[in-house]
């Protein structure tokens, strides 16, 4: 009995040794002698079947949308989703495409990506923040830039925001877009008055841009942080903390009206 | 008589130290040859050289006319051996162990395996795992394994090691019968002197890497025989005996002289009686190998 | 020679080593399958979809965010960048590299076990091939047969090769059979990309081409077999040199683990690339991951490994045939 088992094992071993040797030969042939000319580009099998009939939310933008500063990692987007889950039984699909430190030109590039466009196309609600990094550049910009310089930056930003909204609208012309406007994290510093004025003028410009498009809503946050700004800021004195994000989230959530499956 | 194993001037150096200093001996067909020496005398090293485990620094070993170093497989084919303990694979059965080694020797049939199993009397337990064997059974399985290839020379290192008295006697008889009936040359090493004395035809005494003596057991013992004289008074008797023969000394109230011949004893006895010495006993004693060994090696101890 | 190899295989089988190894593999595969299942569930829960494109896109964004955070090491950053480019490439070409299925699981399992798990299993067999004979004293019986010493060692080496392929085979078959229960048994023809080459921080896609998953798997298992053989040969050499099986295992274990640690931190110590243990992740070259040290390629690693194995083999045979056995 034992003899048969051993003979069997030995035969398996021999057979597999051969198999693995074949594998090695294929490796050598495939990896070392591959003819670059015969590259066959895979044909993209675009399957744009919308898989979920539920609510699709896509978040775009920078660290605010990412949720930097919120120790729970949710960010305002998380609170919005939480709130929606309470209000509806609908299946919810949520993708967060925000990248920390992203500025408007980078967002434009991102929006040109095929897969991002595919997801946007399926989206029912689009949440986004942009412009914070264009304006503040980590906090140093406001300190020494001249008025003229800031105006120039603003003009550039307005143009890019147009591009962004246009891109979104060409891909998806009926999703509701919530553009979350800027707050001033520096308003209790010495030059709070000046910086506040700049932020207000940016927000005004942005809301003017948003008004040009169908169902793009500019959500103000400036007022949320106007009093006791430090209570709502993270230790970096720039990003909101958990409480700050909650306030933004509440405000955005209150604006979202659910047309189907509402409780 | 035909010589089966011939060792000529074999030396082994380890580093600068010479451990085996020029051994020469040979084994004849059908004899049991003893290898005796204290621990560290070089017995095991010598045996390992004989079976090809250690390469001698110089000298030749030939087995049935084949040079072990140059024609290893042809020479080793005629040797069966157990070196030190009979270490077999504990996780295989006795039979599988034998099969395992049989596959390494050309021309061993199933029939031959059966034969050696019967020869060593392991029929009942041969299909059990070696792990469950007693030391005696392992020793026997070891011998079975050594006999598989029908060797002409059997080399056994301490074959009675760890056996009970009955086992020792059986083993002794077995080894003798192999030599007498199968006409094998058997080389046995042992530190048990009584073993060698009872089992071997010839013996080589080793000490410090050299053979100090090779002879038949009988001859060696004969040469060292002693006569014990129980006499009163001792002093008178001693004077008389000194004139007649060689007195070695006194032991347990008896005078010890060397043994020459029975005539010498009769002559001495007559002289003692003439001188009025009372002779209460005359005894011829053969020394044990132990005495012999101590004498030859000058008091080197054996364990 | 066939008889001798049969003997060696008999001993390996009767020591039950192969079955123990198969059992270990089965347990580990089950654990991995469960972990994988959990991971898929978590991702699904977080994103709310099973669409792989969305998941992959999310992974890309996550990677980008990690890249932007401060305080990650340069090596890690480089690794992430290359992975990012690769993920993007997959996405752009509409290929799902992680399409669920037993073959995909096999691929993931072999890629994760090639560096440590598989070599460890091979080590268990190879470590005592010779040393156990020495410590058990049976070497004396083996070497006093009318068989030349090199033949005895060769039979042991062949037995090592055979058991190695058995181990690789059991990894293949068990990971397929067990994970298939959960993920299904299909997916052999899934197209996958290979031929990535890394130049500095950039992923070169000039030679990238598609191969079906079965071929990809054959390549990866072939490489795993190669790596196992090299590790087996090195263990084999130690087994010849050292009587104690435990010592052999200890040394190999130390080498393998140090390799796993070194690969994640040696990028600045360039000559470390000649050590065998940082070259074990051959499958990374196929899937296009960044090598631990710049300038390492598949052919380089294979050459390094082959050289180590060759030297080990020569040493083993020289020592074994010349040595006095005490």
- Give me the residue spans of the domains in chain B: 3-215, 225-285
3-class SS of residue B191: coil
| Distance in angstroms (rounded) separating the CA atoms of residues C190 and C213 | 5
Mean pLDDT of chain A: 80
Q: What is the mean pLDDT of residues C27-35?
A: 91
Q: C136 in contact with B at a CB cutoff of 8 Å? A: yes
For CA atoms C154, C158, C161, C164, give the dihedral sign: negative
Chain A residues with CB inside 8 Å of C56's CB? 115
pLDDT tops 80 at residue C293:
no
Chain C residues with CB inside 8 Å of A6's CB? 6, 9-10, 13
pLDDT tops 80 at residue A141:
no
- DSSP states of A9-42: HHHHHHHHHHHHHHHHHHHIIIIIS--GGG--PP
H helices, E strands: number in chain A:
10, 5
A209 located within any domain: yes
Q: What is the mean pLDDT of residues A64-87?
A: 84
Tokens 């062949």 map to which residue? C158
Query: What pLDDT shows up at residue A142?
Result: 60
Indicate if A100 and A201 belong to the same structural domain: yes
Give the pLDDT band (50/70/90) at residue C237: very high
Quick check: B103 and C4 CB within 8 A? yes
For an interface test with C, the pick among B103, B127, B139 (most C C-beta atoms closer than 10 Å) comes out as B103
Instruction: Compare CB distances from B77 to C3, C4, C146 and report the shortest one's residue.
Output: C146
Long-range contacts of the stretch A145-151 (C-beta < 8 A, 24+): A150/A198
Q: What is the mean pLDDT of residues A190-210?
A: 84
Give the pLDDT band (50/70/90) at residue A261: very low
Q: A87 in contact with C at a CB cutoff of 8 Å? A: no
Instruction: Compare CB distances from C211 to A2, A10, A30 and report the shortest one's residue.
Output: A30
Quick check: A92 and C48 CB within 8 A? yes
Phi-psi region of B229 (alpha: psi -120 to 50; beta: other; left: phi over 0): beta
pLDDT tops 80 at residue B9:
yes
Q: What is the CA radius of gyration of chain B?
A: 24
Share of chain C above pLDDT 70, in %: 93
Give the pLDDT band (50/70/90) at residue A233: confident
| Distance in angstroms (rounded) separating the CA atoms of residues C310 and C306 | 6
Q: C137 in contact with B at a CB cutoff of 8 Å? A: yes
Chain A with chain C: Cβ pairs closer than 8 A: 148
Residue-number span of the structural domain to which A26 is assigned: 2-37
CB < 8 Å from B in window 145-204 of C: 145-148
Query: What pLDDT shows up at residue C25?
Result: 92
Q: How far is CA A115 from CA A44, A171, C84, C91, in A?
A: 12, 12, 14, 7
Share of chain C above pLDDT 90, in %: 27
- Closest chain C residue by Cα to residue B55: C324
Whether this model's ipTM surpasses 0.90 comes out as no
Chain C residues with CB inside 8 Å of B103's CB? 3-4, 6-7
A43 located within any domain: no
A163 located within any domain: yes
Nearest to C275 by CA among C293, C290, C288, C289: C293
Over residues A166-177, the pLDDT tens digits come to: 888 888 888 888
State the smallest CA–CA distance between residue C9 and chain A in angstroms: 7
Quick check: C223 and A23 CB within 8 A? yes
Q: Enter the DSSP assignment of B131.
A: G
Mean pLDDT of chain C: 84
Tokens 């590039």 map to which residue? A109
Give the pLDDT band (50/70/90) at residue A38: very low
Over residues B241-250, the pLDDT tens digits come to: 787 777 777 7
Q: C142 in contact with B at a CB cutoff of 8 Å? A: yes
C93 compared with C21, residue with greater pLDDT: C21
Cβ B51 vs Cβ B83: under 8 Å: yes
- Closest chain A residue by Cα to residue C169: A16
A72 located within any domain: yes
Over residues A43-73, the pLDDT tens digits come to: 444 444 444 567 888 888 888 888 888 888 7
Indicate if A193 and A227 belong to the same structural domain: yes
Over residues B256-293, the pLDDT tens digits come to: 888 777 888 888 888 888 888 888 888 887 776 667 77
Query: What pLDDT shows up at residue A44?
Result: 45
pLDDT tops 90 at residue C315:
yes
Mean pLDDT of chain B: 83
Instruction: Compare CB distances from A101 to C68, C226, C286 and report the shortest one's residue.
Output: C68
Give the pLDDT band (50/70/90) at residue C306: very high
What b/e string do you get for C32-63 counting C-beta neighbours within 10 Å, with b at 16 or more?
A: bbeebeeebeebeeebbbebbbbbbbbbbbeb
Nearest to B162 by CA among B122, B132, B121, B195: B195
Chain C residues with CB inside 8 Å of A32's CB? 298-299
In CATH, what number is assigned to the domain containing residue A183? 3.40.50.1110
pLDDT tops 50 at residue C54:
yes
Chains with 3 or more CB pairs under 8 A to chain A: C
Instruction: Compare CB distances from B104 to C136, C137, C145 and report the shortest one's residue.
Output: C145
For an interface test with C, the pick among A18, A42, A116, A239 (most C C-beta atoms closer than 10 Å) comes out as A42
State the smallest CA–CA distance between residue B141 and chain C in angstroms: 12
- Closest chain B residue by Cα to residue C323: B54
Instruction: Report the 10 Å Cβ neighbour count for A179.
Output: 25
Of A21-35, B10-24, B170-184, B289-303, the one with minimum mean pLDDT is B289-303
**B3-215 maps to CATH 3.30.930.10:** no
Give the pLDDT band (50/70/90) at residue B149: confident
Quick check: C219 and A26 CB within 8 A? yes
Q: B149 in contact with C at a CB cutoff of 8 Å? A: yes
Cβ C229 vs Cβ A13: under 8 Å: no
Query: What pLDDT shows up at residue C27?
Result: 93
Query: What pLDDT shows up at residue C203?
Result: 67
Q: Which fold has domain B225-285?
A: Alpha-Beta Plaits (3.30.70)
Over residues B39-64, the pLDDT tens digits come to: 777 888 888 888 888 888 888 888 88
Q: B151 in contact with C at a CB cutoff of 8 Å? A: no
Query: What pLDDT shows up at residue A47?
Result: 46
| Distance in angstroms (rounded) separating the CA atoms of residues A18 and A43 | 35
Query: What pLDDT shows up at residue C231?
Result: 93
Quick check: C146 and B85 CB within 8 A? no
Indicate if A70 and A154 belong to the same structural domain: yes
Over residues B63-80, the pLDDT tens digits come to: 888 888 888 888 888 888
pLDDT tops 50 at residue B163:
yes
Instruction: Name the residue ranges covered by the structural domains of chain C.
Output: 2-20+100-322
C75 compared with B113, residue with greater pLDDT: B113
Give the pLDDT band (50/70/90) at residue A143: low
Quick check: A46 and C94 CB within 8 A? yes
CB < 8 Å from C in window 80-99 of B: 81, 83-85, 87-92, 96
Query: What pLDDT shows up at residue A39?
Result: 44
Structure tokens at B75: 């020479």
The helix (run of H) or strand (run of E) holding residue B82 is strand B79-82
- Closest chain B residue by Cα to residue C16: B91
Quick check: C166 and A16 CB within 8 A? yes
> Is the model's pTM score more than 0.80?
no
Chains with 3 or more CB pairs under 8 A to chain B: C
Q: How far is CA C289 from CA A233, C82, C198, C298, in A?
A: 40, 7, 8, 11
Domain count, chain A: 2
Quick check: C144 and B53 CB within 8 A? yes
A137 compared with C216, residue with greater pLDDT: C216
Q: What is the mean pLDDT of residues C300-309?
A: 92
């Amino acid at each position: 009995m034992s003899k048969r088992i051993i003979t069997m094992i030995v035969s398996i071993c021999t057979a597999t040794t051969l198999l693995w040797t074949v594998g090695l030969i294929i490796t050598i042939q495939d990896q070392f002698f591959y003819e670059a000319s015969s590259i066959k580009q895979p044909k993209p099998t675009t399957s744009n079947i919308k898989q979920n009939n539920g609510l699709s939310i896509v978040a775009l933008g920078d660290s605010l949308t990412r949720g930097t500063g919120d120790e729970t990692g949710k960010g305002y987007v998380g609170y919005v989703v939480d709130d929606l889950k309470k209000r509806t039984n609908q299946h919810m699909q949520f993708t967060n495409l925000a990248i920390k430190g992203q500025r408007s030109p980078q967002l434009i590039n991102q929006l040109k990506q095929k897969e991002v466009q595919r997801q946007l196309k399926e989206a029912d609600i689009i949440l986004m923040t942009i412009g914070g990094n264009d304006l503040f550049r980590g906090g140093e910009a406001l300190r020494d830039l001249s008025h003229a310089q800031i105006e120039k930056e603003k003009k550039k930003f307005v143009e890019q925001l147009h591009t962004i909204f246009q891109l979104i609208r060409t891909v998806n012309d009926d999703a509701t877009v919530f553009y979350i406007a800027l707050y001033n994290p520096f308003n209790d510093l010495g030059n709070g008055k000046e910086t506040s004025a700049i932020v207000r003028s940016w927000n005004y410009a942005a809301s003017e841009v948003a008004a040009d498009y169908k169902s793009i809503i500019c959500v103000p946050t400036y007022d949320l942080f106007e009093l006791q700004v430090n209570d709502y800021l993270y230790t970096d004195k720039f990003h909101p903390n958990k409480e700050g994000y909650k306030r933004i989230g509440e405000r955005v959530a209150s604006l979202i009206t659910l047309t189907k499956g509402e409780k | 008589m035909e010589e089966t194993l011939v060792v000529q001037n074999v030396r082994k150096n380890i580093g600068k130290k010479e451990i085996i200093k020029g051994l020469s001996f040979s084994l004849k067909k059908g004899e049991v040859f003893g290898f005796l020496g204290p621990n560290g005398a070089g017995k095991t090293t010598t045996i390992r050289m004989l079976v090809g485990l250690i390469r001698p620094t110089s000298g030749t070993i030939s087995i049935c006319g084949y040079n072990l170093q140059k024609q290893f497989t042809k020479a080793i084919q005629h040797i069966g051996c157990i070196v030190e303990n009979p270490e077999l694979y504990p996780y295989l059965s006795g039979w599988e162990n034998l099969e395992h080694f049989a596959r390494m020797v050309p021309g061993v049939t199933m029939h031959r395996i059966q034969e050696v199993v019967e020869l060593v009397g392991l029929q009942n337990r041969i299909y059990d795992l070696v792990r469950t064997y007693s030391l005696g059974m392992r020793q026997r399985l070891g011998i079975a394994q050594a006999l598989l290839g029908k060797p002409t020379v059997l080399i056994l290192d301490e074959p009675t090691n760890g056996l009970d008295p009955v086992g020792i006697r059986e083993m002794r008889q077995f080894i003798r019968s192999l030599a007498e009936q199968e006409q094998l040359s058997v080389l046995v090493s042992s530190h048990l002197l009584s073993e060698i004395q009872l089992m071997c035809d010839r013996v080589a005494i080793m000490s410090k890497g050299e053979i100090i003596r090779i002879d038949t057991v009988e001859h060696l013992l004969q040469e060292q025989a002693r006569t014990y004289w129980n006499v009163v008074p001792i002093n008178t008797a001693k004077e008389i005996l000194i004139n007649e023969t060689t007195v070695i000394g006194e032991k347990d109230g008896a005078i010890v002289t060397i043994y020459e011949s029975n005539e010498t004893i009769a002559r001495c006895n007559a002289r003692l009686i003439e001188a009025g010495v009372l002779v209460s006993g005359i005894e011829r004693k053969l020394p044990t190998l132990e005495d012999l060994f101590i004498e030859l090696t000058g008091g080197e101890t054996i364990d | 020679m066939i008889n001798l190899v049969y003997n060696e295989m008999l001993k390996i089988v009767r020591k039950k080593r192969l079955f123990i190894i198969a059992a270990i593999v089965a347990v580990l595969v089950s654990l991995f399958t469960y972990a994988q299942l959990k991971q898929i569930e978590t991702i699904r829960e977080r994103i709310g979809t099973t669409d792989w494109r969305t998941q992959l896109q999310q992974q890309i964004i996550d990677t980008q965010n990690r890249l932007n955070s401060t305080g990650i090491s340069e090596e890690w950053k480089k690794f992430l960048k290359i992975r990012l480019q690769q993920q993007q490439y997959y996405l752009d070409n509409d290929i799902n590299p992680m399409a669920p299925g037993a073959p995909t699981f096999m691929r993931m399992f072999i890629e994760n076990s090639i560096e440590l798990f598989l070599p460890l299993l091979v080590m268990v067999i190879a470590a005592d091939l010779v040393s156990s004979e020495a410590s058990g004293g049976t070497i004396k019986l083996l070497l006093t047969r009318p068989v030349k010493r090199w033949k005895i060692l060769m039979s042991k080496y062949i037995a090592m090769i055979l058991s190695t392929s058995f181990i690789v085979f059991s990894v293949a078959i068990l990971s397929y059979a067990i994970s298939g229960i959960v993920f299904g048994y299909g997916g052999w023809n899934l197209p996958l990309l290979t031929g990535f080459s890394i130049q500095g921080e950039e992923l070169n896609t000039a030679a990238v081409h598609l191969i079906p998953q079965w071929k990809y798997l054959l390549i990866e298992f072939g490489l795993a077999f190669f790596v196992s053989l090299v590790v087996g040969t090195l263990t084999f050499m130690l087994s010849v040199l050292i009587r104690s099986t435990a010592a052999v295992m200890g040394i190999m274990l130390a080498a393998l683990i140090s390799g796993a640690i070194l690969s994640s931190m040696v990028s600045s110590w360039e000559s470390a690339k000649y050590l065998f243990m940082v070259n074990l992740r051959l499958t990374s070259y196929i899937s296009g991951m960044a090598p631990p040290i710049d300038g390492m390629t598949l052919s380089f690693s294979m050459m390094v490994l082959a050289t180590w194995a060759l030297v080990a083999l020569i040493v083993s045979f020289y020592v074994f045939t010349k040595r006095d056995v005490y």
